[in-house]
Amino acid sequence: MRDRLKLAAVGGALVVLFGVALGIGALVGDPGGDSVNSQQDATGLSETESGYTMADLTAPAGPNQPGALRFRITGPDGAPVTRFTTQHEKQLHLIVVRSDRTQYRHAHPVMDAAGTWSIDWTWTKPGTYRVFADFVPEASGRDLVLGKSLTVTGNPELQPLPPPSRTATVDGYEVTLNGEQSTAGSELRFTITRDGRPVTDLQPYLGAYAHLVALRANDLAYLHTHPQGAVGKTPPGPEVVFHTTAPSAGDYRLYLDFAHNNSVHTAEFTVTATDSTSPGGHSGHHN
- Report domain 6-42+162-281's class: mainly beta
Angstrom distance (rounded) from CA 282 to CA 68: 44
48-152 CATH, one of 2.60.40.10, 1.10.10.10, 3.40.50.1970, 3.30.465.10: 2.60.40.10
Angstrom distance (rounded) from CA 245 to CA 227: 15
Instruction: Answer positive or negative: Cα dihedral of 65, 68, 74, 80.
Output: negative
pLDDT value, residue 78? 97
State the pTM of this model. Answer: 0.82
Angstrom distance (rounded) from CA 159 to CA 162: 8
Where do the CATH 2.60.40.10 domains begin and end in the chain? 48-152
Main-chain dihedrals φ then ψ at residue 233, nearest 5 degrees: -110, -40
Q: For residue 247, is the peptide bond before it cis, meaning its omega torsion is within 30 degrees of 0?
A: no
pLDDT value, residue 14? 35
pLDDT value, residue 228? 62
Angstrom distance (rounded) from CA 196 to CA 191: 11
Query: Which DSSP category does 204 fall into?
Result: P
**Averages of pLDDT over each 10 residues, the chain, 287 residues:** 37 35 34 34 87 98 98 98 95 98 98 98 98 97 96 97 95 91 75 95 88 88 72 86 72 91 96 72 46
Where do the CATH 2.60.40.1220 domains begin and end in the chain? 6-42+162-281
